[in-house]
Structure 1
Amino acid sequence: MTHVKIPMPDGKTLRAHIWLPEDALEHPVPALLEYLPYRKNDFTAIRDSARHPYFAGHGYASIRVDIRGSGDSDGILLDEYLKQEQDDALSVIDWICDQPWSTGRVGMFGKSWGGFNSLQVAAREHPALQAIMTLCSTDDRYQDDVHYRGGNILASDMLWWASTMFTYNARPQDPAVVGDTWRDNWLERVTDTPPFAIEWLSHQRRDDYWKHGSINEDYSKVSIPVFAVGGWQDAYTDAIFRMMEHLPNAKGLIGPWAHEYPEVATPEPTIGFLQEAIRFFDHWLKDTDTGMYDEPKFQAWIQEPEKPRVTYDVRPGRWIGMDHWPSNDVTSEKWYPSGQALSKESHEETILIPSVQEHGFYAGTFCPFGQPGDLPADQRLENGKAVVFTSKPLQEDVDYFGEPVFHARLSADADNAMVVVRLMDKAPTGESTLISWGMLNLNHYKSHEHPEALVPGDIYDVKVKLDSLGQKLTKGHRLEVAIAPTYWTKAWPSPTPVNLTLYTDEKTYLDLPVRQPNKRDQDVRVFDIAETAPIIERDVIRQEERSLDIVHAPIDSTWQIIDYSDEGSRKLKHNGIEHGSINKNVYTIKENDPLSATAECFWELTVGRDTWQTKVKTYSKMTSDQNNFYLRHTITAYENDQEVASNQWKNTIPRDFN
């Protein structure tokens, strides 16, 4: 069923595609809901065709809904994860329960946005929602999303993601579906949908804005079964460890993957993930013992050492299993920095860590989607711009699994500063592979809710949480730790150049989680080969193109990343819709000048059919001075190459310990 209308209590209408088993009216079935702003008719139509018919073929009503303000649904989309979004989802579930093909038992699933709102809706405790599957998502919107990390503004992603949604939200409804009202709604979306970055940048600390939609505020609200899935290349993997610890009915799976579904993700090995989804939902929505809970509740891929590449096709390794997190099989291993060494014994020393603004250009994409060039390059290109400590060659193989933490005693020569820590695997032949990293806004060292100015020269004891990892290091490899007060483009620079002083003693150390094998490793799932439903047919109008350039202009002392991604243009044969996208992002900084930092995002999106063609072009820019951030957004919409609407925003937002 296509373009199904789902009425909301306020008179608005959401629209959905629904795939049903052939005999669902005679034999009602449970329902699976995916609830997204990414347009069922075009942008996600290809991926929807792989999954939803598969679920229907295995005895589920599979439902794909455009949330309010997106696709063919009514309204405009004012921000991420609003209460209105959750309220609408509860109304959708009510509607599902009233359908003749429904048993009244509902599951939700989704990746990224759909994974977020699956958790958030679960916390609203609708009695019909009995299990969720959340991929590449988080329990904490401030700690683990594209806005802030460690209290620092994510320069590479906050503006980019805001510009992405700024453009996505401005695409029109389909006149063949909604009729003549499409144009009025489109013009309203173009001129009245706010750029999300304005709101995000107005909340630089973890206030009530971020607590909303963060289920870690009250884990007890999510008592239903949760299947939490992610990958080591994804930006959201830490949340799986927290959910395994705090949600009573959580099951976890971490592979080597980027921000994608595991049946199609890179790098290999992919798995038969749709089969795993069926096993999970059959257990909880059909009361069928699928054997899923005879296996370890938490399974993860331990990666073998690999030399650094910006793209991996395969990550060799092995699956491990455990039933609880934290695990008794994981113990702490302390490494102390001093001089240029990393050792098991502490030595007192005072080490200056200078400010180098171009540190971070080879760090890779914050949240890789599996595009070529997303991953960090050889860290020898970065290590001359930080202070690096290196261990002696390891004497035996070691598995690291969990969250590294760097404990540091340090001071800063400014009242606003950050610290960044990189952890690397240094091969016997010299290559340096980034395996984890973390950063902390030092003004947040006590609290992300109540930051405070540093006193220059005062000594502080801080903890820097690094990304969780599942990594084997083999005999002869060495650990490297790099420390710096800058990390462009991951972190927006402090307002002045900052020098840190590190005091190495027993209170300055890296705490690494070392894992020993256990007998449950023998019980891990031998995953099936990946299956999907047949993918819908489409014609390629324009081929995809991707480039990523790091440009150093030594005469001007300027560094730039120019990230260009043309996702191509295609025509879907089943509905005749043509759609395409082009995105370019430029990040610029000058040596020794943190106030030169500039982020710019350009988008062009097209949607059309035959003689009806639309295009949206946007430009977003972020800069700063000592006291303020400056945002600029412009948007222009075209119908059949004629401009029909435009708008612009200019905003000044005070710096708040950032």
Structure 2
Amino acid sequence: MQILETVWITLQDGCKLAARIWLPDGPRPVPAILEYLPYRRRDRHRGDDAILHPGLAESGYAAVRVDMRGAGDSDGLMNDEYTPREWADACEVIAWIAQQPWCSGAVGMIGISWSGFNSLQIAALRPPALKAIVTACSTDDRYADDMHYMGGVLLNDNLQYGSTLFTWTPTPPDPDIVGDKWKSMWLQRLNAMELPPASRWMAHPTRDDYWRSGSVCEDYSRIEVPVLAVGGWADGYTNTVLRLLENLPGPRKGLIGPWGHAFPHVATPGPRIDFIRYVTRWFDHWLKNEPTGIMNEPMLTYWLQEAEPPRVSYTERRGRWAAEQHWPAQAIAPQRWALSPDGRLETSWLDDGAEDGGAAIARRGEPRHEGLVPFTQSICSPAATGIVSGEWCPYGNGPDMPGDQREDDAGSACFDSPVFTAPLQITGRPVIRLGLSADSSQGMIAVRLNAVAPDGTSLRITYGLLNLTQRNGHDRREPLTAGERYDVALTLNAAAFILPAGYRLRVAVSTAYWPLAAPLPVRTTLTLHSGTLELPVRDSGIASTPPPCLGRPPVPPALPSRIIVPPQRGRLRLIRDMNDGDTTLEVVRNLGAIYLEETGLRLDALGRETYKVNALDPCAASSRAVRSAGFHRGEWHARLEVSSLLTADDGGWRLVSSLEAFDGDSRIFHRRWDDYYPFFSDIAPKGDAT
């Protein structure tokens, strides 16, 4: 194939975007596939690009990888994610691609995470040349399913991802590409950092117009092109796949594996699949009008996970491929359970005499009782409840998965089913409804659905969070009234899991989920009065549609490089001070250090986080993230250092951030921010930057 290292795309306002293009051998013109994102094509993202885009070119496509405005070597400035400027530029890029002599005029988009988000957002703008997209690990709802909030609860991922973007947004262009103007471009980017990304997102604690912009769920009908939506059960964005299948008006397919946050040909946990071959069958159908048969296959193909001992990292997850011809699937129906006194989880569909939770549950006989048995159970979880939660968005290449849940179960109100005598297949999103009261004006709940093995080990199937001040909707915050009873509903994350015979189901309710959720500076005691679980159960008597054959991927090509510091990601070390009650979790966030032979560049990308919480003093909690990025070639040495510290008092969050930039040994830029965000809207946010 022909590889064009740097091609300039000039936009209508004169801004030039840097692209890397892979052109296939053989007859041209051919359809083109665009990936459009801010992660630098020359260095940071070069390893990922070296697998995906040559694979697309080998399949007869022009693969085009573009750095967005203000990123990599491209002109301009970028201050936030998913902006109208970003989308307008992309529409111009698509039109430019369609007009090139090597392009047939048909363009597709592919992307993961950021580029998966904007594939959906740009499809909603309907650029004429865009004919189909593939979106992986993305969201249709920026507030409900992204790294900032979950159920209105502030995630610590807001800080860690914000710190990552804080580092990479103002990185310098490559002097080998832009020449001597690299430093002036760099200073423009640094001076344009008016607010750290994490601070910007904390200024929008409810689902307001900021989050609605770019959330394609606001109007699914805007997307008319065919959509292949891809996710992994370990990833933070899996709910999107099922919502897109249910709501998009046009042709669509869904693929969900056991994977973390990565494309399925390189993802962990496995099994991996030959994803490039799968997506080229998709694009062959829609961009080349070739009969690949892919649209005759089921709408949803998914990895049906099986029970196994919980671990914080997996090479592969046990299970098998399954499929549904349509989604929602007619074979899946809700099964209603009740949270009952003495920690019991009872189904209201049990046949008389079927007390063991066996096959009668799967058959869903007549209700045993119509009403719920009231109870009273108070819960005030220890501050470190959630320590075995795993990451909100696991990447699968380190200790970032949920472990044995028994430690978190000990700090929760638990409700257990009888032992199952027949398997139960859960496929979809469970719903929890609780009647509760609180002794504070604010609080949160975390609800986990676990599979409890005969030996007592507890495997998390799925979970959800809810900020109780957003109980009436995520567009508002309303303080709780102490002692008043509220009825709340919480939809858990999607799952596909076979609960085997001999296991129990467990619903675990806690008032903390640290450090996945940023800890509140109060210890709220909740009193539970009633509760139901609505479980999506697949009828084992209805045959599953055979899934397509998903072969193993070929060995990916090696990037010509030398690893100096290996990449590492995940929860490394837990420290408990038995004297003062502090619990500290240390997390590593290293892309590593690597020498790239093709560009003669050494790239350093290192980071870590430290989360602290105190058993007796919730105001002592803190979340700290530090990052560094360095670029070295000959006498060129450019480096950025960022740090962020999140704390809270009884009125709100405080985020202190700093950014430093170095040209060689000289510090050329330094800025510090001190921002405060109240818990309730009657106090205005305030901040200071120096």
Shorter-chain TM-score range: over 0.9
- Residue of structure 2 equivalent to 1:176: 176
| Correspondence 1:7 to 2:10 | yes
Q: Summarize the alignment of residues 152-231 of structure 1 with structure 2, pairs less than 5 Å apart.
A: 152-154=153-155, 156-193=156-193, 194-231=195-232
State the AA in 1 paired with 2:284. D
SS of the residue corresponding to residue 162 of structure 2 reads: helix
C-alpha displacement of 1:216: 0.3
C-alpha displacement of 1:566: 3.2
State the AA in 1 paired with 2:25. E
C-alpha displacement of 1:105: 0.8
- Residue of structure 2 equivalent to 1:282: 284
SS of the residue corresponding to residue 387 of structure 2 reads: coil
SS of the residue corresponding to residue 2 of structure 1 reads: strand
Q: Summarize the alignment of residues 370-449 of structure 1 with structure 2, pairs less than 5 Å apart.
A: 370-449=396-475
C-alpha displacement of 1:514: 0.6
SS of the residue corresponding to residue 41 of structure 2 reads: coil
Matches of 2:219 and 2:590, distance apart in 1: 41
> TM-score under structure 1 normalisation?
0.96
Matches of 1:275 and 1:23, distance apart in 2: 19
Matches of 2:52 and 2:541, distance apart in 1: 35
> Among 486, 494, 499, which residue is 1:468 paired with?
494
Q: Summarize the alignment of residues 126-165 of structure 1 with structure 2, pairs less than 5 Å apart.
A: 126-154=127-155, 156-165=156-165
> Among 320, 329, 332, which residue is 1:330 paired with?
332
Asked if structure 1 preserves the Cα contact closer than 8 Å seen for 2:124 and 2:222, the reply is yes
Asked if structure 1 preserves the Cα contact closer than 8 Å seen for 2:398 and 2:568, the reply is no
Matches of 1:101 and 1:286, distance apart in 2: 14
Matches of 2:551 and 2:460, distance apart in 1: 31
State the AA in 2 paired with 1:294. N
C-alpha displacement of 1:192: 2.5
Q: Deviations over 1:75-128 (max 9, x none)?
A: 222011111110110110111122111111110010000100000000011111
Asked if structure 2 preserves the Cα contact closer than 8 Å seen for 1:350 and 1:501, the reply is yes
Matches of 1:59 and 1:211, distance apart in 2: 37
Asked if structure 2 preserves the Cα contact closer than 8 Å seen for 1:615 and 1:641, the reply is no
Matches of 1:611 and 1:279, distance apart in 2: 47
- Residue of structure 2 equivalent to 1:503: 529
Asked if structure 1 preserves the Cα contact closer than 8 Å seen for 2:135 and 2:227, the reply is yes
| Residue 197 to residue 539, structure 1, CA distance change in 2 (3 Å) | same
Matches of 1:584 and 1:235, distance apart in 2: 20
- Residue of structure 2 equivalent to 1:262: 264
State the AA in 2 paired with 1:563. V
Deviates more, 1:638-647 or 1:257-266: 638-647
> TM-score under structure 2 normalisation?
0.92
SS of the residue corresponding to residue 612 of structure 2 reads: strand
| Correspondence 1:488 to 2:514 | yes
Asked if structure 2 preserves the Cα contact closer than 8 Å seen for 1:54 and 1:533, the reply is no
Deviates more, 1:141-150 or 1:521-530: 521-530
State the AA in 1 paired with 2:262. E
| Residue 490 to residue 329, structure 1, CA distance change in 2 (3 Å) | same
- Residue of structure 2 equivalent to 1:572: 596
- Residue of structure 1 equivalent to 2:343: 340
C-alpha displacement of 1:538: 0.6
- Residue of structure 1 equivalent to 2:665: 641
Q: Summarize the alignment of residues 246-257 of structure 1 with structure 2, pairs less than 5 Å apart.
A: 246-248=247-249, 249-257=251-259
Q: Deviations over 1:227-253 (max 9, x none)?
A: 000000000001111000001322000
Matches of 1:518 and 1:15, distance apart in 2: 55
C-alpha displacement of 1:451: 2.8
> Among 12, 23, 28, which residue is 1:20 paired with?
23
C-alpha displacement of 1:545: 4.8
Asked if structure 2 preserves the Cα contact closer than 8 Å seen for 1:274 and 1:531, the reply is no
Asked if structure 1 preserves the Cα contact closer than 8 Å seen for 2:325 and 2:545, the reply is no
- Residue of structure 1 equivalent to 2:547: 524
Matches of 1:105 and 1:135, distance apart in 2: 21
- Residue of structure 2 equivalent to 1:358: 384
Asked if structure 2 preserves the Cα contact closer than 8 Å seen for 1:319 and 1:521, the reply is no
C-alpha displacement of 1:611: 2.1
Matches of 1:195 and 1:86, distance apart in 2: 22
Matches of 2:567 and 2:86, distance apart in 1: 33
Deviates more, 1:251-260 or 1:458-467: 458-467
SS of the residue corresponding to residue 182 of structure 2 reads: helix
- Residue of structure 2 equivalent to 1:626: 650
Matches of 2:433 and 2:620, distance apart in 1: 31
C-alpha displacement of 1:428: 0.6
Matches of 1:612 and 1:365, distance apart in 2: 36
Asked if structure 2 preserves the Cα contact closer than 8 Å seen for 1:118 and 1:134, the reply is yes
- Residue of structure 1 equivalent to 2:321: 319
Asked if structure 2 preserves the Cα contact closer than 8 Å seen for 1:296 and 1:520, the reply is no
Asked if structure 1 preserves the Cα contact closer than 8 Å seen for 2:111 and 2:135, the reply is yes
Matches of 1:462 and 1:634, distance apart in 2: 39
State the AA in 1 paired with 2:655. L
Q: Deviations over 1:223-278 (max 9, x none)?
A: 11000000000000011110000013220000000000101111121111100010
State the AA in 1 paired with 2:268. T
| Residue 479 to residue 533, structure 1, CA distance change in 2 (3 Å) | closer
SS of the residue corresponding to residue 239 of structure 1 reads: helix
Asked if structure 2 preserves the Cα contact closer than 8 Å seen for 1:171 and 1:607, the reply is no
Asked if structure 1 preserves the Cα contact closer than 8 Å seen for 2:299 and 2:327, the reply is no
Structure number with greater CO (CA < 8 Å, separation at least 6) is 1
Q: Deviations over 1:338-376 (max 9, x none)?
A: 212212254321111124222111111110011221011
State the AA in 2 paired with 1:527. L
State the AA in 2 paired with 1:6. I
C-alpha displacement of 1:198: 1.7
Aligned-residue CA RMSD (Å): 1.6
State the AA in 1 paired with 2:662. Y
Matches of 1:448 and 1:172, distance apart in 2: 38
C-alpha displacement of 1:382: 1.3
Structure 2 gap ranges (5+): 349-371, 684-690
Asked if structure 1 preserves the Cα contact closer than 8 Å seen for 2:71 and 2:78, the reply is yes
C-alpha displacement of 1:640: 2.5
Matches of 1:513 and 1:293, distance apart in 2: 26
